[in-house]
């Protein structure tokens, strides 16, 4: 019986009509790596690199980062690995970071990397080298606008120029985390530079509602599954589709069974979640039919309140 459960966990995730759906793994530490395959995930949809090295006093150099990423890429190959650039700041502070009055609105994610290229260059070197051997996707956190991608591209060229001649032919696929309202509204401008988009609903909820994601006393003001978020997500999906861009979602919402029919109807291409959550999402997915989901989304987009949305989602 245990074998049957494990075999089922490993089979592809499909909806009620048999359409396959991609469920990747969120990984933050090497210790989590064995869970990826155990729960049937193939690719890594989000490697939170800032947490990978959190136990160290100083950041590892390019060679050390390359070795660590390589260990993970080898375990996952031939499936792709999505390496998110360092997302320090806010709730993930480095020792030497200056105090800020408002860290969540401060120097975090790609801003910090562009302001302090010495933080980012070793990581870009490691990624450039790794991309010659493995299927690597490079994911940029906390992007707001296309100028940041232009600056990043210059830094990447600088990093790749250090590779031996003839060894920088393959570029990683490039994607952005959509986790600020500005990023949502700038998808059209960024799309021509991108291969994929990954929606970070933890931060997108925080910034859409201006409510601290880590403060439990604010939880009633922090509403991931709510009319405003559903409209924002539907907009992201429709713009991504218009540009032929692959769009996935990697925040906590990816493991919320209630959100799944709506995401499916929006045409989301895949989810990335904690591997232990895959069996649950897979079993919910198996009962969902796309027409039914589309009807639900149409109704959801017309709701006025979170409570009204909740009662519609409970009716499925
Ligand atoms: C998110 O913001 O939804 C996300 C996946 O990134 P993190 O939780 O690491 O900020
Ligand atoms: Mg985030």
Q: Are 133 and 163 in contact (CB under 8 A)?
A: no
Q: Is 84 annotated as a binding residue?
A: yes
Q: Are 46 and 55 in contact (CB under 8 A)?
A: no
Residue 50 in contact with ligand 1 by CB distance below 6 A: no
**pLDDT tens digits, residue range 23-50?**
999 999 999 999 999 999 999 999 999 9
Residue 24 in contact with ligand 1 by CB distance below 6 A: no
Residue whose entry in the numeric block shows the structure tokens 């493991």: 255
Q: Which pLDDT score is estimated for 90?
A: 73
Pairing mode of beta strands 13-14, 136-140:
unpaired
Average per-residue pLDDT for the chain = 94
- Binning pLDDT at 50, 70 and 90, where does residue 2 land? low
**pLDDT tens digits, residue range 178-228?**
999 999 999 999 999 999 999 999 999 999 999 999 999 999 999 999 999
Residue 202 in contact with ligand 1 by CB distance below 6 A: yes
Q: Which pLDDT score is estimated for 134?
A: 98
Q: If you take atom 9 of ligand 1, which residue's CA is the nearest one?
A: 48
**pLDDT tens digits, residue range 118-159?**
999 999 999 999 999 999 999 999 999 999 999 999 999 999
Q: Is 19 annotated as a binding residue?
A: no
Q: What percentage of residues in the chain have a pLDDT greater than 90?
A: 86
- 299 CA to centre of ligand 2 in angstroms: 29
Catalytic residues: 250
- 87 CA to centre of ligand 2 in angstroms: 8
The ipTM assigned to this model is 0.99
Residue 27 in contact with ligand 1 by CB distance below 6 A: no
Rg over CA atoms, the chain = 19
The closest alpha carbon to 264, from 279, 286, 245, belongs to 286
**pLDDT tens digits, residue range 233-283?**
999 999 999 999 999 999 999 999 999 999 999 999 999 999 999 999 999
- 286 CA to centre of ligand 2 in angstroms: 29
Q: Which atom of ligand 1 is nearest to the CA of 200?
A: 3
Backbone angles phi and psi of 67, in degrees to 5 = -60, -45
- 106 CA to centre of ligand 1 in angstroms: 16
Q: Is 38 annotated as a binding residue?
A: no
User: Of the bound ligands, which one is closest to the alpha carbon of residue 202?
Assistant: 1
The residues with which 140 forms a beta bridge, in sequence order, are: 176
Q: How far apart are CA 96 and CA 301, in angstroms?
A: 45
Q: If you take atom 8 of ligand 1, which residue's CA is the nearest one?
A: 202
Higher pLDDT residue, 13 or 98?
A: 13
Q: If you take atom 1 of ligand 1, which residue's CA is the nearest one?
A: 200
Q: Which two tokens stand for residue 62?
A: 């390019």
pTM score, whole prediction: 0.96
Residue 48 in contact with ligand 1 by CB distance below 6 A: yes
């Amino acid at each position: 019986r245990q074998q049957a459960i494990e075999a089922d966990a490993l089979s592809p995730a499909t909806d009620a009509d048999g359409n396959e759906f991609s469920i990747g793994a969120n990984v933050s530490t090497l210790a989590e790596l064995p869970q990826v395959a155990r729960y049937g995930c193939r690719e890594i949809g989000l490697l939170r690199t800032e947490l990978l090295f959190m136990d160290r006093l100083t950041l590892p150099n390019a060679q050390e980062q390359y070795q660590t990423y390589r260990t993970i890429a080898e375990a996952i190959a031939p499936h792709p690995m999505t390496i998110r650039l360092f997302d320090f700041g806010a709730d993930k502070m480095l020792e030497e970071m200056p105090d800020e009055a408002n860290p969540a609105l401060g120097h975090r994610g790609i801003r910090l990397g562009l302001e302090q290229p010495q933080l980012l260059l070793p990581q870009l070197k490691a990624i450039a080298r790794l991309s010659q051997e493995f299927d690597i996707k490079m994911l940029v956190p906390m992007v707001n606008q296309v100028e940041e991608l232009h600056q990043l591209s210059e830094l990447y060229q600088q990093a790749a120029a250090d590779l031996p001649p003839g060894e920088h032919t393959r570029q990683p696929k490039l994607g952005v985390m959509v986790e600020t309202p500005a990023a949502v509204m700038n998808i059209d401008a960024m799309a021509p530079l991108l291969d994929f988009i990954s929606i970070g609903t933890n931060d997108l909820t925080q910034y859409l509602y201006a409510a601290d994601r880590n403060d439990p006393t604010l939880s009633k003001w922090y509403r991931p599954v709510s009319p405003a978020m559903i409209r924002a997500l539907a907009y992201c999906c429709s713009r991504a589709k218009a540009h032929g861009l692959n769009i996935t979602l990697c925040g906590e919402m990816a493991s919320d069974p209630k959100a799944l029919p709506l995401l499916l109807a929006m045409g989301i291409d895949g989810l990335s979640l904690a591997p232990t959550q895959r069996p649950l999402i897979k079993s919910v997915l198996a009962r969902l039919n796309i027409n039914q989901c589309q009807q639900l989304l149409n109704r959801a987009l017309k709701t006025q309140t979170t409570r009204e949305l909740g009662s519609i989602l409970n009716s499925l």
